[in-house]
Amino acid sequence: AAPCLILALETSCDETSAAVIADGRTICSNIISSQVPLHQKFGGVVPEVASRKHIENVLPVVDEALKEAQVTLKDIQAVGVTYGPGLVGALLVGVATAKALSFAEEIPLIGVNHLEGHIFANFLCHAELEPPFVALVVSGGHTALVHVKDYNTLILMGQTRDDAAGEAFDKIARVMNLPYPGGPHIDRLARSGNREAIHFPRALSDHGSYEFSFSGLKSAVLNYINSARQRQEDLSPEDVAASFQAAVVDVLVAKTMQAVKDCNVEQVVLAGGVAANSSLQEELNKSTRLAGIRLYYPSPVLCTDNAAMIACRAYYQFLAGQYADLHLNAVPSLKL
């Protein structure tokens, strides 16, 4: 039989992306047009600039995704699109485009939750992976533990009360005069630093819940940097980076291992931009190996925003008949 081809669009933040995947798990194309250089001079994403760029990029990116997959719209069985969470103006570009394609081609429209998409990126990298598992979603906007019982039963166990993990990385990087987005730069600096040089707080680590909080840590690091600067003391950026990163990673690992125990699962899945962090991967690797738990994380391209992960999530919604209609709207603060 001909493969089931899904086309998906992702425009929730600063990447315009379109992808075609076959039978839910095989990437035929995954075109990502990044706006990072455009936003870099502002030190962060400017929503209005992002929306305008998505409008310019979206149709060329769709054309390229179809071309690279060597298919036409006539071959596509359903169109998936991220409808939240994200920047409203950015999301609307993808949603409006997907609706037009669905209407014109008379194919089902599938609204995808961006965070669920991040989790599903793992299915594209690991053919053997199947639920149930615990997923740690760590991105620029979110930090959450999710119990994935089966493909369409995702239960939110807990999330951050304030800043997301990636947001903390980006803010600390900014005061250290590192380029946006700062996560990868902190990661790189930390490799030659001492994670025990400075003790930063591990918020809510003994709280017994799956909630996270990173705003106190962010303030502690800022205070440390400012007071060292005031006293004109030498400051090792490597040690600051390593000690900050250790505080984030320790809490993430401890809560994830607790969740694995409480859900009685044997697999852990990392997702979102911060899943690319080398220390997080390393520390979770150690803890899961000790506990006899399997750890999965996506390849670097599939950790950050892309449409292939959205197509993968859409495929399983397609199988379950979870279609949207032409009233589908962007939901900036969509929950899991």
Per-residue x/- track, 131-160, Zn ion (CB under 5 A):
--------x---------------------
CB of 325 to ligand KG4, least distance (A): 26
* DSSP code for 160: B
Whether the CB-CB separation of 269 and 122 falls below 8 Å is answered with: yes
170 annotated as ligand-binding: yes
Region near Zn ion per CB under 5 A, out of 27-35, 156-164, 210-218, 297-305:
297-305
In the complex, least distance from residue 15 CB atom to Zn ion, rounded to whole angstroms: 9
SS3 (DSSP) at 29: strand
Query: What is the C-alpha separation between 252 and 118, in angstroms, rounded?
Result: 17
Three-state DSSP state, 232 = coil
Q: Based on DSSP, count helices (H) and strands (E) in the chain, helices before strands.
A: 11, 10
Burial of 118 per CB tally in 10 Å (0-12, 13-18, 19+): buried
273 binds ligand KG4 (CB under 6 A): yes
* Strand, coil or helix: 230: helix
* 118 labeled part of a ligand binding site: yes
Considering the complex, state which of residue 239 and residue 305 has its C-beta at the smaller distance from Zn ion: 305
- Give the residue from 276, 326, 279, 304 showing the smallest Cα distance to 33: 304
Q: DSSP assignment, residue 212?
A: B
Q: Of the candidates 10, 170, 187, 305, which one interacts with Zn ion according to CB under 5 A?
A: 305
Among residues 58, 134, 241, 274, which is the contact residue for ligand KG4, using CB under 6 A?
274
Nearest distance, CB of residue 306 and ligand KG4, angstroms: 8
The partner residues of 148 in beta bridges, in order of sequence, read: 133, 154
SS3 324: strand
Partner interacting with residue 276 (select from Zn ion, ligand KG4, none; CB below 5-8 Å by kind)? ligand KG4
Within 8 A by CB and 6+ apart from 293, the residues are 260, 265, 266, 267, 268
Stretch (H or E) spanning 284:
helix 278-291
| Minimum distance of ligand KG4 from residue 141's CB (angstroms) | 4
- Residue 182 interacts with ligand KG4 (CB under 6 A)? yes
Any known ligand binding at 63?
Answer: no
What binding mask, one character per residue, do residues 28-67 give for ligand KG4 by CB under 6 A, x or -?
----------------------------------------
Instruction: Pick what 317 binds: Zn ion, ligand KG4, none; C-beta below 5 to 8 Å, kind-dependent.
Output: none
Which H helix or E strand runs over 9?
strand 5-10
Stretch that binds ligand KG4, among 126-134, 137-145, 199-207, 249-257 (CB under 6 A): 137-145
Annotated binding residues for substrate, as ranges? 137-141, 170, 183, 187, 277
- Residues lying near ligand KG4 in the complex (CB under 6 A): 13, 139-141, 166, 169-170, 181-184, 187, 272-274, 276-277, 304-305
